[in-house]
């Protein structure tokens, strides 16, 4: 076995190229930041990205903010929810106008923009939300460009820069970037996902996307990677990737975001619970992700996740102090 450098200067053992040993239970996190178009987010704690769905066909909320017959989100209701989430501790508000759930039908860019621009404009104008940067969840460079002009600071691209203009748009705006891992399209991505070396292949493919972004002018300190839990992965593969933060950080050189909230693989771990009953499983997954090296988690259940992460952080801090005292004796 070989020792592999991990996040925050920790180390772990590699067997056959895959990190297996648990992280130490007391850690000292090295403070760093994630740069974006309107400032920077400290990574001294695991960031919480709140899911703001402006779609009528989301796999979880199923368009609860959509007003018929226009099929557009009720901006005032969305704004109220976002204020509540920020009060509860959300660090980022991630606004999306196209569902990328398995089997989802793509929407045209005009429809996507109609759904998200009023929300982004409203969020940006609200002084109560000034501390929380806005992320736009899109695969399309033209949508990202308009969203950034309207006030978004981060682009969350689940496709891994499938649009050849995306990296240029991000670079020109000085935006933050989440590079997701996805093979194929959401409509077909769950058709026989296959990996011979799950962690190695995901890391290598993310690394190539990071290199493309840097070649287009996106600075490394603006990039976060996302292994795409539930995006073209089996349930077992998704579960493994939740805990792969340290490994992916070591291999790509970028902080890692994990989005496991309410996803289907959790049903297999909870006796088949439907999406409406996966809150507890989602919070546990977020805590596991953070403990295993994730710099950020993307969630639906903001208050519960923030509280759980604070408890985890408090326990680690006290254990670290106790360990330091024991070493000094």
Positions marked catalytic = 263, 298
Nearest alpha carbon to residue 63 among 11, 101, 91: 101
CA separation, residue 88 to residues 85, 92, 166, 320 (Å)? 5, 12, 32, 26
Residue 188 tokens, joined: 């077909």
C-alpha to C-alpha distance for 231 and 298, rounded to whole angstroms: 14
Nearest alpha carbon to residue 294 among 38, 106, 91, 119: 91
DSSP codes, 82-134: HHHHHHHT-SEEEEESS--STTPPP--HHHHHHHHHHHHHHHHH-GGGTTS-E
Strands 2-5 and 257-258 come out as unpaired
Nearest alpha carbon to residue 133 among 58, 224, 229: 224
Contact predicate 142/98, CB 8 Å: no
C-alpha to C-alpha distance for 43 and 41, rounded to whole angstroms: 6
CA separation, residue 230 to residues 7, 189, 219, 263 (Å)? 24, 9, 28, 7
Residue 313 tokens, joined: 């952080």
CA 215 to chain centre: 23
CA dihedral defined by 198, 6, 181, 156, rounded to 10 degrees? 160
Nearest alpha carbon to residue 248 among 268, 229, 269: 229
Any idea what the Cα angle at residue 315 is, between residues 309 and 319, rounded to 5°?
A: 145
Any idea what the Cα angle at residue 291 is, between residues 130 and 219, rounded to 5°?
A: 50
């Amino acid at each position: 076995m070989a020792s592999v450098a991990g996040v925050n200067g920790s180390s772990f053992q590699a067997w056959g190229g895959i990190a297996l040993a648990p992280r130490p239970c007391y850690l000292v996190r090295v403070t760093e930041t994630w740069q974006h178009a309107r400032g920077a987010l400290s990574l001294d704690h695991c960031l919480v990205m709140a899911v703001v769905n402006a779609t009528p066909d989301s796999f979880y909320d199923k368009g609860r903010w959509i007003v018929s017959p226009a099929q557009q989100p009720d901006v005032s209701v969305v704004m109220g929810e976002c204020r509540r989430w920020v009060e509860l501790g959300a660090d980022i508000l991630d606004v999306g106008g196209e569902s990328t759930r398995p089997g989802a039908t793509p929407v045209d860019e005009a429809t996507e923009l109609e759904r998200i621009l009023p929300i982004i404009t409203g969020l940006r104008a609200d002084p109560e939300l000034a501390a929380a940067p806005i992320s736009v969840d899109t695969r399309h460079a033209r949508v990202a460009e308009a969203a950034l002009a309207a006030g978004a600071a981060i682009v969350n691209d689940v496709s891994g820069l499938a649009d050849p203009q995306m990296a240029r748009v991000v670079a020109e705006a000085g935006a933050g970037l989440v590079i997701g891992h996805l093979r194929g399209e959401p409509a077909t991505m769950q058709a026989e996902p296959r990996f011979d070396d799950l962690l190695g292949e995901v890391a290598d493919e993310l690394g190539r996307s990071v290199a493309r972004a840097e070649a287009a002018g996106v600075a490394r300190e603006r990039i976060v990677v996302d292994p795409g839990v539930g995006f073209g992965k089996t349930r077992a593969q998704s579960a493994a990737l939740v805990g792969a933060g340290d490994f992916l950080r070591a291999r790509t050189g970028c902080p890692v975001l994990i989005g496991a909230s309410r996803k289907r693989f959790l049903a297999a771990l909870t006796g088949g619970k439907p999406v409406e009953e996966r809150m507890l499983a989602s919070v546990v997954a977020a805590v596991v992700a953070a403990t295993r090296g994730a710099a950020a988690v993307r969630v639906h259940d903001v208050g519960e996740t923030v509280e759980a992460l604070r408890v985890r952080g408090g326990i680690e801090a006290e254990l670290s102090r106790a360990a330091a005292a024991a070493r000094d004796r």
